[in-house]
Amino acid sequence: MLMKNSNINNTTEELRYDLHSHTNLSDGQLTPKELIDRAIARDIDVFAITDHDSLSGLTIARNHCNDNGLKLKLLDGIELSASSDFGDIHIVGLGIDQEDNNLQQLVVKQKQLRRDRAEQIDDKLNKAGVSGILEMIKQDGVDLVTRTHFAKKLIQKGFAKDNTQVFKRFLGRKGKAKVKNYWESMQSCIKTIEGCGGVAVLAHPTRYPISNRKLSYLIEEFKLEGGSGIEVSYPSLNPDEAGWLEVHRAKNDLLASAGSDFHFPDLKWSDLGKFRPVKKNIPHVLDRLLLES
Ligand code: AMP
Ligand code: MN
Ligand code: MN
Ligand code: MN
């Protein structure tokens, strides 16, 4: 149960939390400090920054909380890109140890894969008659390049009108600049996260382009490989999908997690803390993570 005061005679107030968010050290817009300040402004009690394949924002965020005496329980997090039998997936690691050697090595490896991939995407864009995009991204001082960075520049340069179009034309599964990814395996990512004391959570399961049947196998495999959690609430999830996910969470004995996957302040539907409440009385990642701290 996730209550602020769980003493028997206290009136209990539910915790506000968000366990999935991005800073400008991956493909978000806000700096780690700005993101923390926004979490405080949204009355969030427990918060995780989960940048794509990066640990760079965690210490900055923690120092910001400590230096300013902010009352926010911060969990160190990451969102790893991983390859699975069902295609590329995202695994959120919560309560990770950023000093862990295996985790640091994995992050170094993933960052190199991202650099190589960015070059390949840029080559394909060149062949499609769009030149100099990666150079522009680099000039902005971007260290970890994601497809979001490509998308933004392509839109700015007028090659597409919005994100949907840019992913359809260039960056998505059938786009002209689609390249194969060589991410670390799901098994290895789970092992590294859980091996350093973290909780490995299957991120936004319904966003993968696979059938429900395949998704149910993916969830089973995630559990078999040692994963502990699954996101069961996030923006854009409809009630039917949420119900389906809850059935499969329970069937595989996974802990529930939830988050906004916040990237940009102007996307009001995915603001911090904004997602349907998770059903009460079901096993939750915070049961484990708050117990340990
Ligand atoms: P990457 O990890 O570099 O492959 O980039 C993936 C990121 O691109 C995701 O985390 C999303 O933020 C964004 N993204 C992926 N697909 C789409 C899409 N169809 N529309 C908008 N953003 C997307
Ligand atoms: Mn992203
Ligand atoms: Mn993701
Ligand atoms: Mn994310």
- Give the domain range for residue 225: 12-107+199-292
Ligand 1 near 52 CB (within 6 A): yes
Ligand 1 near 163 CB (within 6 A): yes
Q: What is the pTM of this model?
A: 0.95
Indicate if the alpha-carbon torsion angle 169, 172, 175, 178 is positive or negative.
positive
pLDDT of residue 91: 99
Residues 6+ apart with CB under 8 A from 14: 2, 3, 4, 277
Give the pair of three-digit tokens for residue 109. 């490896």
Distance 275 CA to ligand 4 centre (A): 14
- Is residue 174 a part of any domain in this protein? no
List per-residue pLDDT tens for the chain, 293 residues long.
Answer: 455 644 333 334 589 999 999 999 999 999 999 999 999 999 999 999 999 999 999 999 999 999 999 999 999 999 999 999 999 999 999 999 999 999 999 999 999 999 999 999 999 999 999 999 999 999 999 989 999 999 999 999 999 999 999 999 999 999 999 999 999 999 999 999 999 999 999 999 999 999 999 999 999 999 999 999 999 999 989 999 999 999 999 999 999 999 999 999 998 778 999 999 999 999 999 999 998 65
pLDDT of residue 8: 37
- Is residue 286 a part of any domain in this protein? yes
Return d(Cα 35, Cα 72) in angstroms, integer: 12
CATH number, position 31: 3.20.20.140
Place of tokens 């992913």: 167
- Is residue 7 a part of any domain in this protein? no
- Is residue 285 a part of any domain in this protein? yes
Return d(Cα 58, Cα 70) in angstroms, integer: 15
Distance 26 CA to ligand 1 centre (A): 11
- Radius of gyration from C-alpha coordinates of the chain: 19
Ligand 1 near 148 CB (within 6 A): yes
Return d(Cα 144, Cα 72) in angstroms, integer: 27
- Is residue 133 a part of any domain in this protein? no
Per the CB < 8 A criterion, the answer to whether 283 and 223 are in contact is no
- Is residue 32 a part of any domain in this protein? yes
Return d(Cα 150, Cα 148) in angstroms, integer: 5
Give the number of domains in the chain: 1
Place of tokens 């597409």: 160
- Is residue 259 a part of any domain in this protein? yes
pLDDT of residue 2: 58
Ligand 1 near 146 CB (within 6 A): yes
